[in-house]
């Protein structure tokens, strides 16, 4: 398995993780990814990048079986509103492509919020920074890799 920058950062910080490779099929939905990993959808997360009314960018990590509630997200970061960035802006801004975006290892650090449901999970999975690659770790250990806060930002989650 190819090692990604996310994996290198976790190893550098001595954070235990498990790497998973499910292939580079960009057509897989989040639930398909969870099924391929043999995980419950509520333990697999997607990373979303937004822009606030102020022009600042924010990162939100939500369960793949839920959606980002833009009003809750804006409130969590002290903005009047936030909206998703355009897909074409993702790579130049973060260094990641759609389907391979991770909260760890972006070109620049952005204020990051993880849905509060992650706190209830023993382990969470999210992109390892490349399409088809996932890392699984204890959500408590994520704070050793990046600064973030937990908040209720998702809707439709189980």
**Residue in this structure with the two tokens 């973030």, named with its chain if needed:** 148
Q: Give me 121's structure tokens.
A: 């999970």
Residue 127 above 70 pLDDT?
yes
Mean predicted confidence (pLDDT) in 36-51: 94
* Cross-strand pairs, 49: 59
* pTM for the structure as a whole: 0.94
Residue 25 above 90 pLDDT?
no
CB 18, CB 136: distance < 8 Å: yes
Listed range (22-31, 70-79, 91-100, 132-141) with the worst mean pLDDT: 22-31
Q: Where are the domains of the chain?
A: 5-155
Listed range (1-5, 23-27, 41-45, 107-111) with the worst mean pLDDT: 23-27
Q: Does domain 5-155 have CATH number 3.90.960.10?
A: yes
């Amino acid at each position: 398995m190819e090692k990604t920058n996310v994996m290198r950062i976790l190893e550098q910080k001595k954070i235990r993780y498990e790497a998973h490779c499910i292939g580079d099929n960009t057509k897989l939905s989040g639930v398909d990814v969870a099924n391929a990993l043999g995980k419950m959808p509520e333990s697999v997360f997607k990373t979303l990048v937004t822009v606030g009314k102020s022009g600042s960018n924010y990162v939100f990590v939500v369960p793949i079986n839920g959606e980002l509630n833009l009003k809750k997200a804006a409130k969590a970061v002290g903005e009047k509103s936030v909206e998703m960035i355009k897909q074409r802006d993702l790579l130049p801004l973060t260094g990641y492509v759609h389907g391979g975006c991770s909260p760890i290892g972006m070109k620049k650090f952005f204020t990051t919020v993880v849905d509060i449901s992650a706190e209830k999970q023993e382990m969470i999975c999210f992109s390892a920074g490349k399409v088809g690659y996932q890392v699984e770790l204890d959500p408590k250990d994520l704070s050793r890799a990046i600064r973030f806060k937990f908040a209720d930002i998702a809707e439709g989650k189980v």
